[in-house]
Amino acid sequence: MIERRHITVQGRVQGVGFRPFVYRLAHELGLVGWVVNSPQGVAIEVEALTARLDTFMTRLQSELPPHAAIQYLDWQNTALMGEQGFQIHHSNHTGAKTAIVLPDLATCPECLKELFDLANRRYRYPFTNCTHCGPRFSIIQGLPYDRPNTTMRDFVLCDECRAEYENPLDRRFHAQPNACPKCGPQLALWDKNGAVLSLRDEALISTADAIRRGSIVAVKGLGGFHLMVDARNTEAVARLRARKHRDEKPLALMYPSLERIKAECEVSELEEHLLTASEAPIVLLRRTGAEIAANIAPGNPYLGVMLPYTPLHHLLMRELDFPVVATSGNLSGEPICTDEYEALERLGEIADFFLVHNRPIARHVDDSIVRVAAGRELVLRRARGYAPLPVKLPKSVPTLIATGAHLKNAAAVTAGEQVFISQHIGDMDTIETYNAYQRIINDFQQLYELHPSAIACDLHPDYRSTQYAEAAGLPIIRVQHHYAHVLSCMAENHLEAPVLGVSWDGTGYGTDGTIWGGEFLLVNEQSFDRAAHFGTFRLPGGDQAVKEPRRSALGLLYSIFGDDIPLDLPPVQSFSATELALLKAALRKGINAPLTSSAGRLFDAVAALIGLRQRVSFEGQAAMELEFAQDGIKTDKCYPFAVTDITSEVTASKRIIDLKLTVLAMIDDLRTGVSISEISAVFHNTLAEIIVTIARCSGEKQVVLTGGCFQNKTLLERTIDRLVAEGFHPYWHRTIPPNDGGIALGQIMAVLREQKICV
């Protein structure tokens, strides 16, 4: 029997060569009909004998092109049309916009081959791409994904490019950014004033020369500018740090090849896979060599390393043949630059030269950062290659916006059954970042033509993200920070309540107005109970404690010793007698010394207590160094700790973790000459044991590990091992960051639970 089927497909089906794949399959099977891109995905109609159609449906799902993925497929019978042949129709623009916008994809092997093939017409052309690779998210201005809706719209295809673009059997069929040296974007090298020094290949060669000589070059890439400098040149790296106002925070590196990375770093199979994947993130790798300048990642056993991911980067790195620093083109605290004229202004004091091109960047997309922990990938910064891939919900939901938190912020929106999480935006301390943040939220609303019905934000009244939500003129839902962390991890793991959420980070506003951060939340179908938390201590000077771990240490010690803090301890010694007297008075009276249960500040306090670091130049530095300190130590020892049950008629089941015994034992070790490495290792073990103990008390088997503290590989792995050994089921993050970059997703989930839409 001949029948006709109308098939709708959703998922990663635009910009990945899906329609040509359908076209070829239909031709091979002798089907008639058509395929078309729609704002929701792809629609197909096919007509043939039933058996043929069944084969088509099977192969449609099993023989997908490399980057395609089907999330949803439905079909129904429709009236026979009996047309001739099979066609690819022009995109239709009707209906709600929910199509998945693809992230930017690293250069594919075929394009790379052409790039270095003397005989190819794209030899050394830095904007080569095809349906398997190239820019997507960074050039899209509207849906569906067609050339007129991208920043390539003003480049008119030459005859040869057009022939490829229109040939369904060509690798560049409907490759929207398709271009060649004749018709596409071109490079230019500018001096600080924007005067053109050279063009095209000559610009590239001069750039390489400048980097070789130790100059700092701002290079316009895929989702923004990099600042590049010879990674072996200590003096040049120091100059970059001074000009960028970036003291000690590690700088990312780009290497010419995998082989060169392997000569400098340990690379596991999974790490190699991540480095060479189409996401091409910065991967944190354990360093083994010494080729790199010491001031790239001072005191850090890891390097943040990536491979070239655009033809431009491939050409430049081939020319240089040594690793370069490739750090975001911005001033510390500001978003990455995307426009060459803006770059002249904002980066003029940093860069000596500007390698630019005339393909506009529609939105900034930073490099993503990934590490391998507990045997799988853990995304720490989610941007290029990952954003804006959605998290799928069990059903279609009302349109919502979530504004995220403050540090490492990202926003989220819902469209149909998808939660789209924005690319990493950054710390919202500067007006530049806040402006970028507003642009990104507007951008998502425009792209998907959304009309939100409500807006979710953090409980913290002073966050700019909260103030944005308050000004939006929509019904507002405030979500507790640590609850949002847990829900974000549950959503990523498709996990249902009840769970015990271990939500540990630096700071989050609690439901009682105090600073939380070492939380155990029992999450039920609609809401949560604060089942346990670290005993609180005061932070003398409030926010200043973030920059000075010694303040956290003093607060922790005060909570144990009161006015009789032992004077021989490193953080106490680091203050003058006058400072100490003032701080003690503040602690005694509780003036400008807020109480906190923060695990992040506890890490800081311990780092200061054992003399590792009294002040930091970036958030999390002390905690990182505490983790690095235990490197290579194998021990199962633990410090003692106490758990107090304060369950009463007013409070539901509630426990406080008392660290007095822990701190006393640590001080004892310190005084008897136990190494800092050993103390750190035992401290990490103790934290894992605390989690196991509270999990046992809670009676929940599903334990969710989330919050910035779980970027710590040692803590994460030890906790997972111990939980599994004790019969629990631990869950943690993978492609949604455990830090505040994942908060917006959690906020969306909180609203859906409150409205009883998805639990």
Using CB under 5 A as the binding rule, whether residue 130 contacts Zn ion is answered as: yes
**Nearest to Zn ion of 182, 286 (CB atom):** 182
According to the binding rule CB under 5 A, does residue 519 interact with Fe ion?
no
Is 740 one of the binding residues for Fe ion (CB under 5 A)? yes
Length of the chain: 759
- By a kind-dependent CB cut-off of 5 to 8 A, residue 111 interacts, out of Fe ion, Zn ion, none, with Zn ion
Radius of gyration, CA atoms only, the chain:
27
**CA distances (Å), 526 to each of 244, 422, 522, 523, 529, in order?**
46, 26, 11, 8, 11
CB of 471 to Fe ion, least distance (A): 23
Q: Does 443 bind Fe ion (CB under 5 A)?
A: no
In the block, tokens 């007698």 appear at 577
How big, in percent rounded to 5, are the helix, strand and coil portions of the chain? Answer: 35, 25, 45
- 265 phi and psi, to 5 degrees? -140, 155
d(CA 258, CA 271): 11
Q: What would the two tokens of residue 539 be?
A: 């932070």
**What SS3 state is found at 544?**
helix
175 binds Zn ion (CB under 5 A): no
Q: Identify which range of 344-352, 504-512, 591-599, 678-686 contacts Fe ion by CB under 5 A.
A: 504-512
Distance CA 389, CA 101 (A): 7
Stretch that binds Zn ion, among 155-163, 349-357, 582-590, 692-700 (CB under 5 A): 155-163
With contacts defined by CB under 5 A, name the span among 95-103, 130-138, 298-306, 500-508 that binds Fe ion.
500-508
Read off the tokens for 187.
């490079």
| 740 binds, options Zn ion, Fe ion, none, Cβ within 5 to 8 A by partner type | Fe ion
- In the complex, what is the shortest distance from the CB of residue 166 to Zn ion, in angstroms, rounded to a whole number? 13
- Nearest in space to 223 (alpha carbons), one of 487, 395, 423, 402: 423
Q: Which one of Zn ion, Fe ion, none is in contact with 505 (Cβ closer than 5 to 8 A by kind)?
A: Fe ion
Three-state secondary structure call for residue 401: strand
Please tell me whether residue 366 binds Fe ion under the rule CB under 5 A: no
| Single-letter code of the amino acid located at 205 | I
Q: Which is nearer to Fe ion, 409 or 662 (CB)?
A: 409
What is the rounded CA–CA span in Å between residue 547 and residue 619? 7
| Of residues 39 and 708, the one with the C-beta less far from Fe ion | 708
All residues at 6 or more sequence positions from 577 whose CB lies less than 8 Å from its CB, including other chains: none
27 binds, among Zn ion, Fe ion, none (CB under 5 to 8 A by kind): none
CB of 182 to Zn ion, least distance (A): 5
Measured from the CB atom, is 172 or 364 closer to Zn ion? 172
Nearest to 329 by CA among 204, 229, 210: 229
Pair 639, 686: CB distance under 8 Å: yes
Which of 31, 111, 254, 441 touches Zn ion (CB under 5 A)? 111
Nearer to Fe ion, 307 or 410 (CB): 410
Q: How far is the CB of 505 from Fe ion (least distance, A)?
A: 3
Helix axes 660-671, 676-698, angle to 10 degrees: 160
**Which part of the chain contacts Zn ion (CB under 5 A), choosing from 58-66, 183-191, 606-614, 620-628?**
183-191
Phi, psi of 20 (to 5 degrees): -60, -35
Q: Are 406 and 469 in contact (CB under 8 A)?
A: no
* Cβ nearer to Fe ion, comparing 377 with 740: 740
**Residues 203-232 within binding reach of Fe ion (CB under 5 A):** none
CB of 284 to Zn ion, least distance (A): 27
**Interface with Fe ion includes 505 (CB under 5 A)?**
yes
Q: Which residue is nearest to Fe ion (CB)?
A: 505
Name the residue nearer to Fe ion (CB basis): 47 or 740: 740
Quote the CA–CA distance of 435 and 165 in Å, as a whole number.
37
Which lies closer to Fe ion via its Cβ, residue 223 or residue 510?
510
Shortest Å distance, C-beta 740 to Fe ion: 5
The binder of Zn ion chosen from 5, 19, 124, 132 (CB under 5 A): 132
Contact 519, 690 (CB under 8 A): no
Residue-by-residue DSSP string for 131-153: TTBB-STTTB-SSS--GGGBTTT
Q: Looking at beta carbons only, is 161 or 657 nearer to Zn ion?
A: 161
Does 458 interact with Fe ion (rule: CB under 5 A)?
no
Q: Which residue has the tokens 């809401």?
A: 527
Residue 619 is a binding residue for Fe ion (CB under 5 A): no
Which of Fe ion, Zn ion, none is residue 582 near (CB under 5 to 8 Å by kind)? none
- Judged by CB under 5 A, the number of residues near Fe ion is 2
Q: Which amino acid is at 23?
A: Y
Query: Does position 312 bind Zn ion by CB under 5 A?
Result: no
The secondary structure of residue 21, as a DSSP letter, is H
Min. distance of Cβ 163 from Zn ion in angstroms?
10
Question: Among the candidate windows 308-316, 527-535, 661-669, 733-741, which touches Fe ion by CB under 5 A?
Answer: 733-741
| CB 397, CB 414: distance < 8 Å | yes
Minimum distance between the CB of residue 744 and Fe ion, rounded to whole angstroms?
A: 12
Alpha-carbon separation of residue 251 from 46, 209, 337, 381 (angstroms): 53, 22, 17, 14
d(Cα 600, Cα 708) in Å, to the nearest integer? Answer: 8
Q: How far is the CB of 504 from Fe ion (least distance, A)?
A: 9
Residue from 180, 450, 502, 665 in contact with Zn ion (CB under 5 A): 180
Assess 133 for contact with Zn ion (CB under 5 A): yes
Can you tell me the distance from the alpha carbon of 686 to that of 679, in angstroms, rounded to the nearest whole number? Answer: 10
> Is residue 182 within the footprint of Zn ion (CB under 5 A)?
yes
Cβ nearer to Zn ion, comparing 160 with 668:
160
Report the interface residues with Zn ion, using CB under 5 A: 108, 111, 130, 132-133, 158, 161, 180, 182-183
Report the interface residues with Fe ion, using CB under 5 A: 505, 740
